[in-house]
A and B are shown apart, each in its own frame.
Chain A
């Protein structure tokens, strides 16, 4: 049986923003109001880090991608690991923390559509993943403590070998 995943319902960034806001309110800041939507042209993210999960195995496959500056990722990792503000962040802890963020966002985004499939393990890289032939559904940015984070959702093509 062929199933269709209606990722297009997420073309409106409101649900994705709501997921991100819930995550930051509950697990990062402990209160609402620190995450602001970014409107207009976005500045380049310095020393970017990319973290993503794919939704695979049923219907149209998709990728949820978060991009942020390395410094922002380290700040988030310090909060999640309850480290001092200037404490060094081990590479494994950095990947664990930012990977878990995209895992939570991806899982919640997945739950908003029908026939979504399964989440892959989070991946983290300082290189933008290849999105050959992928179609963007939503690409929204927020600021957190003045730093830009962008969340995007891509419907992937049918050839997994063209992905990274």
Chain B
């Protein structure tokens, strides 16, 4: 610990704790004594496990953040939302078509969007969530894929949606449709797989495997480097 920290009061699920003001919400919960099981994952803003809802004293406005990426504030009332019982459709991506009809077949509720923008306002990744649902409605799957790309699937958008849309499941479907059906496969990759399967590299690899250490070192140190 060592250095001095200013103590502030926060309320974890209504219970008051005094914590240093420099901490993230996650570290503050642990400082308060919580051994986290749910609501904690990568601790670096990638996994979406630690969605947290809070408000500040005297303010009705609900705010959100990832607990590992948000600093505590004085008089913060918080709770985590570590799980959301969202519906996910099951599909075989190979058999699908990259169209609005296809998405609406699995997620017809996207057309019930009332344009309230609550999803965008709540997104801890600052994504334009309502916008990407709009792209999905119009079959602009490339734009939906692009706009939803940074989604960590924390579930906060779905928790706020009056139309009960599960935005992040629409996003992953759009990204997979875009990548599988609207993007050309890499020809060089296909060629290389065929070469490998035909044994084109077996001799070269086996030669390296049987090379002695001196030879291997020589070849490594004399590699030509792509600029």
Co-assembled chains A and B: no
Residues of chain A whose beta carbon lies under 8 Å from any beta carbon of chain B: none
Residues of chain B whose beta carbon lies under 8 Å from any beta carbon of chain A: none
